[in-house]
Structure 1
Amino acid sequence: MASRRHKKIVIVMGPTGCGKTKLSLDLASRFFPSSEIINADKIQVYRGLAITTNKIPPSDRRQIPHHLLGDFESSDSHPELTPSDFRLSASSLISQIHSRRNTPIIVGGSNSFIYGLLAKAFDPDSDVFTDSDSAICKALRYSCCFIWVDVSPAVLSEYLARRVDEMMEAGMFEELEEFFGGGESDPVSGRGLQRAIGVPEFRRYFERKARGDWTRDGDVAEREAYEEAVRAIKDNTCQLAKRQLTKIIRLRDSAGWDLKRVDATAALRAAMAGRTAELWERQVVEPSRNIVKRFLMGE
């Protein structure tokens, strides 16, 4: 089986919050142990703001090698990672992983990164997702197995709102407070971690706090500003998911990429209700395992 994996890659894609990370870990740790994961999230590639950017901590990675996850600095002295940069870095990693006779699993919500990596003819000066005049490339550089984890918009929006609350409880506010207090946030650059959802939404709050506005205005004004920032994070996260879905559909319909859709709606709904993970196993993990197995075996 290992010999048949040569030059093949698996891509787990989908909107933010759909369960891409969990699925990639289930596949790599339980069914395809000769796998290594390459992050394709354009914000998670940067070091810092682990909670805000929802990076999976090392303790939860199940000893699966992860690449391009928090590997790059985000500052004015370090240029922003572009799709071309990702193409170069990820291609090199794929070659190394193949040389170890392992299977690369590309995981992330940045479809511009995924397209930049996989399109055989890639033009770094055009954006096929925003420029209707740009021709999208149908040919792929690798033999690819695409798993598209899909969730109904209504269920996903409810889950994303809950996830923001959980992230705040896990220390996201304190992390952002340190980020702004340490002078790491530069509103002018708007690059790297500056674009992480949570940073622009809380910028005004922390600027007012630094000016001492809360001392003058009182606890009510501070609480209102906090709640406004949290609402903006929830709204912008849902908007991000919608944009990601639009790009995925363009890759399927315009590029003709063979995306194997796996519906995680019922599993996510069950998880929010506190029920067992049976639906996740039956409706997401098992179909995905079968798809990848057939692909790697050449069926």
Structure 2
Amino acid sequence: MKLPVPTGYHPYCSKVQTLPLIPAIKPTFRRSGWARMDSTVRRNRTKHKVVVIMGATGTGKSKLSIDLATRFPAEIINSDKIQIYSGLDITTNKIQMHERQGVPHHLLGDFDSSHAEITPSQFRSVAAAAISDISSRRKLPVLAGGSNSFIHALLVDRFDSESDPFNGSDSVSTELRYRCCFLWVDVSFAVLSDYLSKRVDEMLGSGMLEELAKFYDPDEDESRPKTGLRKAIGVPEFDRHFRKYPPVDQGIIAGNPKKKKDDPEMESFEEAVKAIKDNTCHLAKKQIEKILRMRGAGWDLKRLDATEAFRVLLSSDSGKKSSEIWEKQVVEPSVKFVRRFLEE
């Protein structure tokens, strides 16, 4: 089995390569001077400072990370366990290149999921390497993503890969190996649910169906557990649809999907879309529960209420007003928190 690791890493590198799986990833990355993670971090007298942007899916974490990185000398590290893989950019809702405004992104689409799945332990190593690299160049690492198991694995001082602090009796550790400024972007669940439903429709309008049709593998063994990119919401839901109605037969790959009303094919399509929306909302609920667990354990999460910005965004006259609310209620307090954090 091989573990995908980006070799000769550079923030703008888009090549996906693989290295043999080893017990613990210890990247050398000599050109950028990356150190080996755990031992180096413990030897450092001063802990690296890291800004951590948390929140449920769809709450604007990527947007806030860009807002901050254009105001501070920062680089962004992705902590979404699905966006870490290359491919399905629409389905996984990766931030588009033009939206990044030239800000370097790390671990975003850098891994090939066809060989193996990135574990929390492995993410701990490669993300710590990115933090060391960014900090060594006097830039601020900004961690952004919704995978709280990855965030916990990276940040805690002593990580036990055998325990799960979010499922069972194991507790969330409060001993962190970095100095962190936690920003939690929160949206009331009722408003967020409506927005997530709308976002799925927008993703379908942007080519999500065609993307999934090309990704579909009719020869895949259905009994095998889903790993890596195949866990992305949208893949299993539309795989079930495509097994009944192959995408080639529907003309989807050619870009001309049939849209017949009141027939079994359209009913199957609508069932897949509903399942995607339901599963996305379920994911958001689980993410919020994990965030609350970390906060309850003592993590100093600074809550930013983005509900009004999203409520206006869902209204007919969204546009500029929503952006103004976002700037005032989310960006401005975030900037103050980060500035104070850097001055400490």
TM-score, normalised on structure 1?
A: 0.91
Q: Which runs of 4+ in 1 moved over 2 A?
A: 210-214
Q: Please say if 1:266 is aligned against 2:308.
A: yes
Q: 1:211 and 1:55 mapped to 2: Cα distance?
A: 24
Amino acid at match of 1:250: R
Cα separation, 2, equivalents of 1:208 and 1:40: 35
Unaligned runs of 5+ in 1: none
C-alpha distance in structure 2 between counterparts of 1:294 and 1:56, whole Å: 28
Q: 1:21 to 1:153 in 2, by over 3 A?
A: same
SS of 1:260's partner is strand
Match of 2:127 among 72, 90, 93: 90
Q: Which residue of 2 aligns with 1:138?
A: 174
Looking at structure 2, the residues matched to 153 and 211 of structure 1 have their Cα atoms a distance apart, in angstroms, of 34
* Aligned mate of 1:124, from 154, 157, 161: 161
Give the corresponding residue for 1:27.
Answer: 68
* 1:113 equivalent in alignment to 2:136: no
For structure 2, which runs of at least 5 residues remain unmatched after alignment? 1-45, 251-258
Partner of 1:284: 330
CA gap of 1:226–1:191, structure 2 versus 1, over 3 A, is same
Where does 1:64-79 land on structure 2 (aligned, <5 Å)? 64-75=103-114, 78-79=115-116
Identity across matched positions, percent: 56
Q: Which has the higher helix share?
A: 1
Q: Secondary structure at the match of 1:144?
A: strand
Query: Which residue is equivalent to 1:233?
Result: 276
Deviation at 1:213, TM superposition (A): 9.1
What CA deviation, in whole Å up to 9, does each residue of 1:254-291 have, x standing for no partner? 2x110000000001111122332111111011011111
Could you say which residue in structure 1 is the equivalent of 2:237? 201
Deviation at 1:186, TM superposition (A): 5.5
- CA RMSD, Structure 1 to Structure 2 (Å): 2.0
Seen in structure 2, the aligned counterparts of structure 1 residues 124 and 98 have a Cα distance that, compared at 3 Å, is same
**Paired AA for residue 67 in structure 1:** H
Q: For each residue in 1:201-248, what CA deviation from the matched residue of structure 2 results, as whole angstroms up to 9, or x when unmatched? A: 11111011239998xxx9411110000000000000000000000000
Contact 1:119 1:140 in 2 (8 A): yes
Distance 1:211 1:195 in 2: 20
Change (3 A) 1:186 1:36: farther
Q: Distance in 2 between matches of 1:84 and 1:178?
A: 31
Q: Which SS does the other structure have where 1:9 is aligned?
A: strand
Report the AA paired with residue 11 of structure 1. V
Q: Is the 8 A contact 2:213 2:247 kept in 1?
A: no
| Aligned equivalent of 1:172 | 208
Return the letter of the residue paired with 1:153: F
Q: Could you tell me how far 1:135 is from its partner in structure 2?
A: 3.0
Matched, 1:44 2:83: yes
